[in-house]
Amino acid sequence: MASIPVLVVGSVALDDIETPAGHRPECLGGSATYFSVSASLFAPIRLVAVVGEDFPEAHVTALRERGVDLGGLERVPGRTFRWKGRYPEENADAVTLDTQLNVFEHFEPKIPESYRDTPIVFLGNIHPALQYDVLDQISKPKLVGADTMNFWISGEREALVRVIERLDLLVINETEAKQLAGERNVYVAAEKIRAMGPKILVVKRGAYGALLFHPEGLFSCPAVPLRSVVDPTGAGDTFASGMIGSLSESGDFGFASFRRAVQAGTVMASFACEGFSLDRVLTVTRDEFTTRLAQLQAVARVE
């Protein structure tokens, strides 16, 4: 059975990344980039984003070759959104050294007519007012998911709450879930967030895996054991993409399908960590995915 098409709206960026494994200037980045490249392993992906005149044509080609539908990728005058960050240690959070919004500052996502009835929609980590605008432009999808971050939770809380009300699924880091709910206990925080709108909540815990809160139950997914992390940038977006890709394949949003989706997200995020930028995500094959999923399931086996 064919996978359900997925619409993703988010950032496409040029990153400058330092980790204990090295330094990579001027590389491909952005939430929608990681999401669409990774999810294209599973589903037809429709990308809505903006880049500037300086965005290398080679990156556009790489996205196209991966099968991403670029009908919603605008190129406008100015420079591409840039982010510079450093991870002081393995498993540490990034320290942002520089952010240049550039063309992203005046970005207003325009959903092409042909995208408006896409059955699955994922709102990457951008200003919640823009996420809201996207929802106003589309017909009622089967599933609407989103990611967000601490910056919007503290600075744009009201706009964020308005978006969250309209979600079926929120994917969020543990620290940010606690921040959003104003609760130190993750299970209590999850309950409060689900009361705000999304029936389904996935809490990402980095090297500790993820928690799925679903109306039919709770699932605690371990992380893939990684002996080294080259660059964790985009791991969260790649996690979401594996989840959404897996749901797009199954077309089923029940607990068993969501448990499997969280495992798929976990596996895809592990690939993202193994190389700088999208290096590893761009080369992952379906066989590699399947092998690693089996490894993850072996590690999680309780009986």
Q: Which residue number, 154 or 297, has a Cβ lying nearer to a second copy?
A: 297
Task: Please tell me whether residue 225 binds a second copy under the rule CB under 8 A.
Answer: yes
Contact window for a second copy (CB under 8 A) among 53-61, 103-111, 178-186, 278-286: 178-186
Alpha carbons within 13 A on the beta-carbon side of 52:
16
Residues 77-116: x where in contact with a second copy by CB under 8 A, - otherwise, as a string? ------------xxx-------------------------
- Name the one residue in this structure whose structure tokens are 């959003």: 180
In the set 218, 252, 254, 283, which binds a second copy (CB under 8 A)?
218
What mask of x and - would describe binding to a second copy in positions 261 to 300, judged by CB under 8 A? Answer: --x--------------------------------xxxxx
Task: Give the H/E segment covering residue 269.
Answer: helix 255-273
Number of residues that bind a second copy (CB under 8 A): 35
* Paired tokens of 147: 């990611």
Nearest to residue 232, comparing CAs of 177, 293, 273?
273
Neighbours of 54 (CB within 10 A): 13
Locate 197 and state its tokens: 């709108």
Residue 184's CB is within 10 A of a number of other CB atoms, namely 8
Residue number, 160 or 200, with CB nearest to a second copy: 200
| Token code pair at residue 159 | 């706009």
**Residue 222 interacts with a second copy (CB under 8 A)?**
yes
300 touches 221 (CB < 8 A): yes
Q: Which is nearer to a second copy, 196 or 226 (CB)?
A: 226
195 binds a second copy (CB under 8 A): no
Distances (CA, A) of 39 to 24, 36, 98, 265: 24, 5, 28, 10
Interface residues toward a second copy, by CB under 8 A: 89-91, 184-188, 205, 207-209, 217-223, 225-229, 256, 259, 263, 296-303
